[in-house]
Structure formats: structure tokens, C-alpha cells
Amino acid sequence: MSGFSPLDWSFGLRNANGLYLTAEVFGFALNCSGKAMKKKQIFFLEQKGEKVFIKSHLGRYLTFKADGKFLADAVEPSSDEALTIEAQEDGRWALKTARGYYAGGSQDALDAYTKELKADRLWVVQLAMHPQVCIQNVNRKRYVHLSDAGDTLVCDEDIPWGSDAMITVIFLESGKYALQADNGKYLSDSSELKPVIDSSCSFTIDFFQKMVAFRSSSNKYLTALGASGLLKATKEGPPKCAPSVDEFFLFEDSQPQFKLKSKTSGLFASIKTSIELKCAASTCEDTEIFQFEPNTQTDQWSFRTCKGLFWSCQKDGSIQTATKPSAQGPSESFTVQWMGPIIALVASNGNFVSVKKNGQCVALSSVLSDECLFVYEIVNRPKLVLRGENGFVGPLPSGGLECNKSTPEVFSLHVSAGYCKISGRDGKFWKVGAESKVLANGDEPDLFTMEFMGNSKLLLKAPNGKYVQGQQNGSFAATGTAKDGSTLWEY
């Protein structure tokens, strides 16, 4: 396993007029007038057996009364709040209440009092979660990644390792989705990766509790075939067949993976030659990449290797990787001190991890010195999507950036010696302009640094020493001084 649990489903519901279901703050009012998917237009799916419940951003449930009223003010889920989702062939949802009525309508005229499946009862589902995920096949318990040849997606990794295992799930205006590989190409139903999305790259996502199945435009389910787990749409869809465990997949957060270079020796931390951690490698391969897994209750981290083991601080202070994942505990927990492009690591014994002259990594130093410093670089985010509490970060025609977009924008991220260069599709770089606003129109990059937190969030520090901060009006500027909701970005 990668260390993450399956993702919870968050989404927007768009009606036949292209407007989003909206839960207003005042009086828990419900309408269908939102022109974009922002905070008030995001809902959360809870599933219990065959029934589902939908909760608003205010923590209240959609509810459907005996007189046909369609509201969003229920405190607890009960039979009045229970729904059955009827997924249509085109991917839209019909929301059927426990009384057998369909919920829908337009503007403020919403109801659940008709058994006729009319156009205003069908909803386009737009996922609201971060689009970059790891995808696990339920039957194989293996992860999807770009093949070594770069021409297919295959499902044969025990742990999703490196950028090739990060899949971008792209929403299409039709309500369907495309799966983009690390090389920028899109999966088709024939398994071919195509440079441009066409109908063969368009999939309906069918939801089965935490699991999903991908149904192609040819009404066949995506499955993993052969020893490599080649992704191809082969199994007939409804009404002939329902997906089985071979066609079920799980979405998981993609955890950050780093290479660490000793500041003093310039060599990478490695497990290539033994169970002991040593800074002894001049080049970076899988054995020099480590996955940082947060413990959000303690603000500490565990470091997983490509072999599925964890760093562990031994009684003599040495750092070894002989711990099974099931035994992850205090000795495998480290505190990370983020200092711009470098970090220091504090082991469970309270000492800094330092690098001896022979390259051995030991936690024996009570004083921070150059031998305790590591230059860190994230390796599995060459494409960067940032989402804050008000929406996704995206560009403006003027060259500026806003942080309240309803759809994600993919930026390119290049990290060198701990410093980040970020650019857009036009090749222009992020820079800090007047009034500390972050722009995306630079011919030369400003250098940013990152501090990683739990729950797949990071802080982005600009050259002026301030955190990049977002506001509800879309302002995106290097003005932050605190670690709070306005400066934390899901990556």
C-alpha cells in the first residue's frame, strides 16, 4: 500500500441549464443558480450500503420531504435524506429519493416530487477534489503508472513510485473524464495514449462506494489485462454486464517523494547497498527516493523506501530500514525542520540526523550543524496543481494569477537545489510583482521554496520571505506571515 486511504468524494452538481446546485450560508437555502463551482457549490458523498447521502459545505444534508420540498438543512442522515444514484449512459446522475421521486428543478424552484425522468432531473457530476491521484486496481492491489516505453498505462507497481505513477483526472464539459499520463498523453479505450483528447479518451466514472469504474464511450469498462496490467476497455457495460472487482479502482492521494542530498558531501541518501541509510550515491534512482508520510496528530513524518520499509532510529542512533510497514511506530517518526531549500531531521531520540565522513546517517547530534543539513527536491510533482480554500490557482489574461478558479490549471514545476521554478502553459514563469502579487508572465523565474505539511498541503515561500497567500476575492500574493488556511495549498 502507498500509505494513503481512498479519497472521499467531493463534487459539484450541474443542471441542464449549466448552473450548479448551491448551498447558501444564510438559512441553509438551496438553489440552482451557481455559474461556477466554488465553495458553496461543493458537496460530499456518504454511502451506506445501497443508499447514499449528500452533505453540503456547511455540514448539512440534502433532504427530501413528503410534500416534495428539496432542501439542504438536515442535521443528521435518515430516510428523508437517503438517495439512490441512477447513473445514465452519458454519465449524468439522477437522484432518486427513498419515496421514488427524482430531485431537480432550476433556480429557486427545486423539488423532489416527480417520477418522470425529465431533463431538469439529470445532473452533470464534476469532481471537486485535487485532480492528481494515484490509482489502484482493487483486484490486483497494484498501482497504475506510465509504462517504461511511455506508450501505455499499466498496473503492476506495489507502491506508486515517482512521477510516472501520478495520474491527472481531467473533467470534460460533457460530464465525462479523461486520464492523463505523466507524459501529457491521454488514455484511450484501446490502451493507446493519444496526444489530444478525442471520444475514445472520454470515460464515464461509475461510483461504487469508495471504488470507481471507468466506462468508455463504446460502453466498455476499463480493466487491467495480462502480467503488466495493461489498461484497456474490454468488458461490456450495462445493461449486459456490471463491473466486477477486476474493473474496480481506488483513487488515493499522491504522497510527496523526495531525494535528499547531504549539504556537506553532495551525495544522495541511499539504501542501495545495505539496510543502513547512507549518503553515498552520486546519482538518483528509486533507492535514493523516499516517500514522506505525515502523522497529522503529531506533525511528524515517516519515510518510506521503494521497498516498502521505513527509516527507523536504532538504539545506537543509526538509521536503518528494516521495519515492516505494520510495525511503523515512534522509532519511525521524525520531525522535519524546513529551512528554505534545506531541511534538518530530528529522530525519535531527540537528536539531529547527521552524516558521518563515511556517509553513514546517524541521530547522535544534539547541535544543528552543516552535517545535519539536507538539500531536498520533490520528484513526483513535475506538474503542479494548487488548490486553496477558495478554489484552484489559475491564470488571468493579464498575466496575473487568481486562486478562486473552479477548474484546475496545470503548471510545470522544476526543482533544483531546493528552489522551485514554476511556469504556465505559455512557458512564462511565476514572479512577484507590484504589491507582492504573484504573476505568471516572467521571462526569468523567481525562485520559490516549499514547506510540506500533512493532508497533502504545502506552504509556498516567495523570495521576499513571505508565504503566498490567497483571499476569497481571488487575490494571490506573497503577503502571508502565518501558517493558516489562507497560506496552505493542496498540491
Pairing of strands 61-64, 457-461: unpaired
* CA-closest candidate to residue 430, choices 445, 451, 416: 445
Hey, what CATH class is 132-253 in?
mainly beta
Ranges of each domain in the chain: 10-127, 132-253, 257-378, 383-490
Q: For residues 103 and 95, is the Cβ–Cβ distance under 8 A?
A: yes
Inform me whether the pLDDT recorded for 4 exceeds 60.
Answer: no
What pLDDT, on a 0 to 100 scale, did the predictor assign at position 5? Answer: 61
Alpha-carbon torsion (277, 279, 280, 282), positive or negative: positive
What pLDDT, on a 0 to 100 scale, did the predictor assign at position 1? Answer: 43
Percent residues over pLDDT 90 in the chain:
81
How far apart are the C-alpha atoms of 124 and 18, rounded to whole Å?
9
- Residue 153's φ and ψ, nearest 5 degrees, are -105, 130
* pLDDT tens-digit readout, 337-373: 999 999 999 999 999 999 999 999 999 999 999 999 9
* pLDDT tens-digit readout, 114-140: 999 999 999 999 998 889 999 999 999
| DSSP 3-state of 331 | helix
Cell numbers for 489, please give them: 495549498
Cell numbers for 440, please give them: 505568471
Q: For residues 394 and 409, is the Cβ–Cβ distance under 8 A?
A: yes
Alpha-carbon torsion (137, 142, 143, 145), positive or negative: negative
3-state helix, strand, coil in the chain (%, to 5): 5, 50, 45
* pLDDT tens-digit readout, 467-488: 999 999 999 999 999 999 999 9
Fold of 383-490: Trefoil (Acidic Fibroblast Growth Factor, subunit A) (2.80.10)
Pick the CATH number of 257-378 from 2.80.10.50, 2.60.120.260, 2.60.120.10, 3.40.50.150: 2.80.10.50
Q: For residues 66 and 37, is the Cβ–Cβ distance under 8 A?
A: no
How far apart are the C-alpha atoms of 100 and 302, rounded to whole Å?
49
Cβ density class 357-394: b for 16+ within 10 Å, e for less: eebbbbbebeeeeebbbbbbbbbbbebbbbbbbbbbbb
**What pTM was estimated for this model as a whole?**
0.87
Phi-psi region of 105 (alpha: psi -120 to 50; beta: other; left: phi over 0): left
Inform me whether the pLDDT recorded for 184 exceeds 50.
Answer: yes
Q: For residues 467 and 436, is the Cβ–Cβ distance under 8 A?
A: no
Inform me whether the pLDDT recorded for 240 exceeds 90.
Answer: no
What number of CA atoms fall less than 13 Å from residue 43's CA on the CB side? 24
- The residue type of 107 is Q
What pLDDT, on a 0 to 100 scale, did the predictor assign at position 297? Answer: 74
Cell numbers for 221, please give them: 469498462
Of 455 and 186, the structure prediction assigns the larger pLDDT to 186
135, β-bridge pairs: 251
Give me the residue label for grid cell 525542520: 337
Architecture per CATH, 10-127: Trefoil (2.80)
* pLDDT tens-digit readout, 31-45: 999 998 988 999 999
Inform me whether the pLDDT recorded for 3 exceeds 60.
Answer: no
Give me the residue label for grid cell 506510465: 146
